[in-house]
């Protein structure tokens, strides 16, 4: 009977060791996932900033285009005899 108890204890130790390794890998995966999530948040923030900058630049270009149109109209008026 003692031999079968030893076998059971050995099996339980092997199971415990495997669970411990799985726990370590799980912890490592959770850390990696956390870093990925942080990277995604940073990329979204950068993307939002780039979009905001693009909108600002488009608005500036629109203002410049209107100014150029006004200048061209003035020049056309002064060029007429």
The pLDDT tens digits of the residues spanning 18-51 come to 999 999 999 999 999 999 999 999 999 999 999 9
Q: List the chain domain ranges.
A: 1-81
Percent of the chain predicted with pLDDT > 70 = 96
CA dihedral for 67, 73, 76, 81, sign (positive or negative): negative
Instruction: Report how far apart, in Å, the C-alpha atoms of 37 and of each of 1, 6, 14, 31 are.
Output: 53, 46, 34, 10
């Amino acid at each position: 009977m003692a031999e079968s108890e030893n076998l059971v204890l050995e099996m339980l130790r092997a199971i415990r060791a495997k669970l411990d390794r799985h726990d370590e890998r799980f912890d490592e995966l959770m850390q990696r996932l956390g870093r990925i999530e942080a990277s995604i948040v940073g990329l979204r923030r950068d993307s939002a900033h780039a979009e905001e900058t693009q909108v600002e630049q488009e608005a500036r270009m629109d203002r410049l285009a209107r100014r150029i149109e006004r200048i061209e109209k003035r020049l056309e008026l002064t060029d007429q005899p």
